[in-house]
Structure 1
Amino acid sequence: MMSHHLAESGGGGEEETTKSLICALNYISRDLPLPPHLFSSVSSIYHHAASSPSPRNKFTPLGGDLMGEFEDALLKQRTNCESGSRLIELYNNRNKTLIQRRLSELQELPSTRGEDLQGKCLLELYGLKLRELQRKVRTEVSSEFLLRRNCADVSNQLFDWGMMRLPRLFYGVCDPFAKEADDQFQKKRNAERLSLLEEEEKKNLIKTAKKKFFAIVLNAVLEFQLQIKATQKRRRQRNDCVQAWHGRQRHRATRAEKLRLMALKSNDQEAYMKLVKESKNVRLTILLEETNKLLSNLGAAVQRQKDSKLDAPRSEPLQEINITESDTNDDLLQGQRQYNSAIHSIQEKVTKQPSLLEGGELRSYQIEGLQWMVSLFNNNLNGILADEMGLGKTIQTISLIAYLLENKNVTGPYLIVAPKAVLPNWVNEFATWVPSIAAFLYDGRLEERKAIREKIGGEGKFNVLITHYDLIMRDKAFLKKIDWYYMIVDEGHRLKNHESALAKTLLKGYRIKRRLLLTGTPIQNSLQELWSLLNFLLPHIFNSVQNFEEWFNAPFADRVSLSDEEELLIIHRLHHVIRPFILRRKKDEVEKLLPGKTQVILKCDMSAWQKVYYKQVTDMGRVGIQTGSGKSKSLQNLTMQLRKCCNHPYLFVERDYNMCKKPDEIIRASGKFELLDRLLPKLHKAGHRVLLFSQMTRLIDVLEIYLKLNDFKFLRLDGTTKTDQRGLLLKQFNEPDSPYFMFLLSTRAGGLGLNLQSADTVIIFDSDWNPQMDQQAEDRAHRIGQKKEVRVFVLVSVGSVEEVILERAKQKMGIDAKVIQAGLFNTTSTAQDRREMLEELMRKGTSSLGNDVPSEREINRLAARSEDEFWMFERMDEERRRKESYRARLMQEQEVPEWAYTTENQDDKSNSAKNHFGSVTGKRKRKEMFYSDSLSEVQWMKAVESGEDISKLSVKERRVEKTSKRAIKPNQVVSD
């Protein structure tokens, strides 16, 4: 019947029905209960088959028997369900059967199989055999773990857990003896347990007694500590009250000191004097009394000079003004008032420029400067015009001369003393602004100067005579015969050494009524330098440098360190002394529309040739050169030699070396030239014009060769350029349609008084020890008349002596703001600084060369003035790299000439090192220093630019002068 039902279902129904029956048969054959869903499925099949009619009636009795048996089996499954323990037992028996079957299979396997398969079968066989042993081991391990964990509990430590390790015995009817033995053993274990409990109780009693004793002791200690704390608290309260009282006193003193500092900084002298009296500070009172006497004496001396008709030095000392103690106590500002009343007492308002000025209109601050100089004239005083470079000190001086001619009828004669490099500029400015004034340039050879003497010999034939320092001393016999009404000294900081020949000549050899100094350099930190300037301006007053130092050092002779207030007070007093005679303005204060100036430090690497020379100088003090004998060249002045290594190795080779033989070598041999080779084409294409400053004329020679090889049009000016040619060179470069792209200048000769504002880019090839020299060079372009932003590029070799020079320059520029410190000036010996720096360089050697070199993209970002320029520079770099096939830009080690590695014998090397480093260690005998300027301006510039020893040249020049003087008659004029 069931099969008939399956036949009638057909399709998918037959397949599902057959699967259900087979699955049910599998469960029944394993004596397992049917799942509910399978049981319901089989029951529905059965009931459906029973209800449907069968076409085969003859098979019905047989079919009924089969289904009846199946129904009985199902009912038996439903009613006789096995328990859980029975099922577990069946599960275990089944697993044992499977394991035994697998063991027999593994044992019957033939040994002819592969080694891998045979090994796996053996491992499986051994694992099945050891199954019972593993189960026992696991059971014992887990039992021991549980036992140990329970024993670790403090509350269960007295329990006898050893019994848990004994096997559990199940006694039967026939085991009375075993049970009795076990009972005896249990009693013994109980007795031992009781004894352990008694011992533990005794220990607990002893422990409790100890705890009580220690608790009593601890309580006593705590009580004692509380007593100590209470005592300390009372003592601390007393100390706090005392300290608070002293703190309030210090706070009052500090507040008073701050108020005094604020009064000093705000220049409120009345309030400061009142606060000093209230504070009763003995040291400050002594200082104020001394400075009050000083200012009273100075005021009287200034008044005497104003009343005098001729400003010539006199030998009598200052007449001291007797100020009693009562007067001092009543008014500590009496000296200051007297000093102030003696200066600029006569006022004259200047509202417009003189009509003689035809070259243009003066700016407002220039008219203020003219009014200040006129006030000096009216009060019979001298002064220093110290405006920052580029603000037109020359024009203001010319306006003073024009004003005196026009309004005071002072026709002169006026003597203008300036560096030789700026003489053409003075002549051009006079011709431009006041062509009606008779201004003569006194320069040239002996014949030319004789012609000028004859031309200006008569009085009233000239108004202004322009000359330079050298001729002031050389032609003193002629120039001192003239009674000069006004002497104007350009670059007046040359007079800071009162022992120099120029200062002595001007003070003692010339008759001068009025003096005016022009300088763009701030007053340096030297008491003697300050006195030298004041002595030149006011020789009646400041006639002894010893007295000047004693004025400000005597109050503090017994104490080295000074407080900030004392330093500021002395600085204020010294500034008060010099302030009436100095006028200084800065560009950012008076010239708001002047374009900005940006300084960019461009660092570059050294070539292999430079590094070889740099190492030779630091190690041996000599370098290898190309000579027939194969010897090296010994060097002096190691710092200068290191700077030459940073610039170019060609500075060491002989002059007959063919630099044009290898055009690329002149670029690849120097890191700075390689950087210039990338920078200059970009600046030229962008339409910028360049001023390049260097301190070495030999380097300028190499730069000339490079510029000619690259077809850059340029001009050159250094110490050898004649005076009449300098004005022509400036005119050619400053013309509106000038074809010249670059101007090569030496820092010493070209950094003074030149107007080159048609250029907007300045390149400092090698920095000067004195940052003011570089500042003056930069201001050749950044001055009145400049319409573009000025970009200054300072080239520095990474890790070399140039970085030390740059750092020292920054330090020197940083102390310019604080001029004077407590009567002494905050400087150390320059020679000592350089000696220590040289020692450090020798120790460091070449270890840091070439570190932290900027990439081409970074250099383009620093050099570009706009985003368009930056991307143009980037494209030019890419084109250049493709053109050069991406080769190395700097010379490599294998390309360095072999003769550059030339070294000397070991004995010579030790002697050379001993001789050259003696100057560093201080073991060599110090040379005698000479402070007289026996060198001329041209000779001095040449010596500095070529790196020669100036002291040796001075000695040589003095010997020549002595020899020549013996041969000259007493009444003969010394000239060229």
Structure 2
Amino acid sequence: MNLLMTGIWGRPFGFTIPIESPMKKENCLATKNLDNLRKALKPVLIRRTRAEVIKELPPRTTEIIRITPTEEQLIVHNQNKRIVSQILSKRYISEMDLLRLQKALLICRMAANSTFLVDKQPPGYSSKLEEIDMLLENLKAEKDRKIILFSEWTTMLNLIEPVLEKHKLDYVRLDGSVPQKMRLSLINRFQKDPECKVFISTNAGSTGLNLQAADTVINVDLPWNPAVLEQRIGRAHRMGQKRPVQVFLMVTKDTLEESLLETLSSKHALFLAALDPNSEDASIDLASGMDELKRRLEILIGKKPVEPEDKSMLAQVEDEAQMLAKKQRIENAGGQLLSAAFNFIDEMFPKQEDTEEINQMTGTFEKYLAGCMNRDENGQLKMTFTLPDESALHSLAKSLAKMVNIGAQKSSH
């Protein structure tokens, strides 16, 4: 705003001082004078809320389905929840701690869906899949029912697809791997084909899509951000919708998902306080930096953990963090080494044009290697393959060492 309307805040840092000002109150940062912020936004911000257009929209109902997890799901969840508690009990949280914290929270959320998301060991344990099975059994009884089903993870969609096939429900799927040019045809099929009953998607389909043909939205899991949840629902409950919309929120009991419902509500309250001209809130306290992170996570995991008395357990946590960081460094270095080795092999062969035969063989090998690869939670490609025995590992290491040595000798000449 200051760029477009120079001087609107009066002086440099004019926004920070009157609106977002440090306060000596439990080491928190406070967002205050929100009434001034709303006045400043009023001339440039046009915001039509759902409350303002509700008369133009059909009714929307939300049902929370609370699901009892399997024992196997709880074991995986609680193991990682303890890791979160141990890290939060520390006075100083290092970068390695943050890495472990992120992974532990991710596993907690995955376990609430299915243990298969965590360990990839079939058949996987998931009471949520059983609930989806029963829910679809009831919903498909209504002839004109059309459903949008969201999950954070593509692997969960993979597990849901056989359930849809079991019920003989025709569906389309949209996730991050679907090319942009193909997305419109998927949307059109769901919108116009009466036989296509279900649209399954990750958050890649939560924005920018008009899916008014649907009258049901199933959230298999909850996102961190309340805006994402509202965007999911908004794919069906939007202008042009003629039928009432039914929303299902699937929450696994005794897991982070239950607490996530409360944090989603509090985040949504802050959003409304800043943008709603009729809001009566004048200030909202927000803890800064690491304090806010710890506070929010303590809400998620329940009672604030105390400093552990078992020093050996604390040492074990530190060792695991170092081993995790070391493993990642080794994996990255190993990938670079293999890449360099294969580039060197390519250089050793005489230069030749890419013939049709070479291109065909390259495509065959590339297809085979792609089957050995998957992506981690950060989107990085990872290759896994099985060696026949330990001697094969030694042979591979020896061959790489020889190639590196030859390359070094060649470069020195």
Same fold? TM cut 0.5 = yes
Over the aligned positions, Cα root-mean-square deviation in angstroms equals 3.8
Residue 605 (1) aligns with residue 68 (2): yes
- C-alpha separation between the residues in 2 aligned to 1:743 and 1:704? 11
Match of 2:225 among 770, 774, 778: 770
Alignment of 1:667-682 (within 5 A): 669-682=125-138
Residue 287 (structure 2) aligns with:
828
Residue 640 (structure 1) aligns with:
106
- C-alpha separation between the residues in 2 aligned to 1:552 and 1:617? 39
Structure that is richer in helix per residue: 1
Name which structure has the greater RCO, CA cutoff 8 Å, separation 6+: 2
Residue 801 (structure 1) aligns with:
256
| DSSP-derived class of the 1:726 partner | helix
| DSSP-derived class of the 2:261 partner | helix
Q: Contact conserved, 1:610 with 1:648, CA < 8 A, in 2?
A: yes
Residue 317 (structure 2) aligns with:
913
Match of 2:36 among 573, 587, 596: 573
Shift of 1:649: 0.7
Shift of 1:648: 0.5
Q: Contact conserved, 2:34 with 2:281, CA < 8 A, in 1?
A: yes
Shift in CA distance, 830/605, structure 1 to aligned 2, threshold 3 Å:
farther
- C-alpha separation between the residues in 2 aligned to 1:571 and 1:618? 36
Q: CA-to-partner distance for each residue in 1:28-48, whole Å, 9 max, x for gaps?
A: xxxxxxxxxxxxxxxxxxxxx
Shift in CA distance, 676/828, structure 1 to aligned 2, threshold 3 Å:
same
Alignment of 1:13-32 (within 5 A): none
Shift in CA distance, 915/644, structure 1 to aligned 2, threshold 3 Å:
farther
Shift of 1:720: 1.8
| DSSP-derived class of the 2:42 partner | helix
Residue 686 (structure 1) aligns with:
142
Residue 742 (structure 1) aligns with:
198
Aligned residue type for 1:547: G
- C-alpha separation between the residues in 2 aligned to 1:573 and 1:804? 33
Shift of 1:711: 2.8
Shift in CA distance, 590/653, structure 1 to aligned 2, threshold 3 Å:
closer
Alignment of 1:168-179 (within 5 A): none
Shift of 1:827: 2.6
Match of 1:719 among 156, 168, 176: 176
Shift of 1:772: 0.9
Residue 548 (1) aligns with residue 15 (2): yes
- C-alpha separation between the residues in 2 aligned to 1:573 and 1:620? 43
Q: CA-to-partner distance for each residue in 1:361-406, whole Å, 9 max, x for gaps?
A: xxxxxxxxxxxxxxxxxxxxxxxxxxxxxxxxxxxxxxxxxxxxxx
Shift in CA distance, 763/833, structure 1 to aligned 2, threshold 3 Å:
farther
Question: Could you say which structure has the larger radius of gyration?
Answer: 1
- C-alpha separation between the residues in 1 aligned to 2:224 and 2:190? 29
Shift of 1:653: 2.6
Residue 700 (1) aligns with residue 157 (2): yes
Q: Contact conserved, 1:620 with 1:912, CA < 8 A, in 2?
A: no
Shift in CA distance, 742/644, structure 1 to aligned 2, threshold 3 Å:
same
Q: Contact conserved, 1:552 with 1:823, CA < 8 A, in 2?
A: no
Alignment of 1:22-421 (within 5 A): none
Residue 274 (structure 2) aligns with:
819
Q: TM-score normalized by structure 2?
A: 0.62
Q: TM-score normalized by structure 1?
A: 0.28
Alignment of 1:780-929 (within 5 A): 780-819=235-274, 826-829=285-288, 832-839=291-298, 912-914=316-318
Q: Contact conserved, 1:719 with 1:746, CA < 8 A, in 2?
A: yes
Q: Contact conserved, 1:751 with 1:777, CA < 8 A, in 2?
A: yes
Shift in CA distance, 832/643, structure 1 to aligned 2, threshold 3 Å:
farther
Q: Contact conserved, 1:549 with 1:823, CA < 8 A, in 2?
A: no
Shift of 1:834: 4.2
Q: How many residues end up aligned between the 2 structures?
A: 299
- C-alpha separation between the residues in 2 aligned to 1:636 and 1:818? 29
| DSSP-derived class of the 1:804 partner | helix
Match of 1:614 among 77, 80, 83: 77
Structure that is richer in strand per residue: 2
Shift of 1:585: 1.6
Residue 948 (structure 1) aligns with:
377
- C-alpha separation between the residues in 1 aligned to 2:10 and 2:209? 35
| DSSP-derived class of the 1:719 partner | coil
Gaps of 5+ in 1: 1-533, 562-566, 622-633, 660-664, 846-906, 919-945, 954-976
Q: Contact conserved, 1:636 with 1:916, CA < 8 A, in 2?
A: no
| DSSP-derived class of the 1:815 partner | helix
Q: Contact conserved, 2:273 with 2:281, CA < 8 A, in 1?
A: no
Shift of 1:676: 0.7
Shift of 1:782: 0.1
Residue 759 (1) aligns with residue 189 (2): no
Shift of 1:638: 1.1
Shift of 1:828: 2.8
Aligned residue type for 2:181: D
Shift in CA distance, 733/908, structure 1 to aligned 2, threshold 3 Å:
farther
| DSSP-derived class of the 1:752 partner | coil
- C-alpha separation between the residues in 2 aligned to 1:814 and 1:560? 23
Aligned residue type for 1:827: L
Q: Contact conserved, 2:80 with 2:105, CA < 8 A, in 1?
A: no
Identity of aligned residues (%): 28
Q: CA-to-partner distance for each residue in 1:619-646, whole Å, 9 max, x for gaps?
A: 468xxxxxxxxxxxx9962111100110
Gaps of 5+ in 2: 26-30, 85-99, 305-310, 323-374, 382-413
Shift of 1:672: 1.1
- C-alpha separation between the residues in 1 aligned to 2:290 and 2:136? 37
- C-alpha separation between the residues in 2 aligned to 1:647 and 1:915? 29
Shift of 1:698: 2.0
Shift in CA distance, 713/829, structure 1 to aligned 2, threshold 3 Å:
farther
Q: CA-to-partner distance for each residue in 1:236-261, whole Å, 9 max, x for gaps?
A: xxxxxxxxxxxxxxxxxxxxxxxxxx
Shift of 1:761: 0.5
Shift of 1:844: 6.7
Shift of 1:947: 7.9
- C-alpha separation between the residues in 2 aligned to 1:916 and 1:732? 49
Shift of 1:816: 3.2
Aligned residue type for 1:728: S
Shift of 1:594: 1.6
Shift of 1:734: 0.2
Aligned residue type for 1:549: T
Match of 2:59 among 593, 596, 600: 596
- C-alpha separation between the residues in 2 aligned to 1:636 and 1:814? 25
Q: CA-to-partner distance for each residue in 1:423-455, whole Å, 9 max, x for gaps?
A: xxxxxxxxxxxxxxxxxxxxxxxxxxxxxxxxx
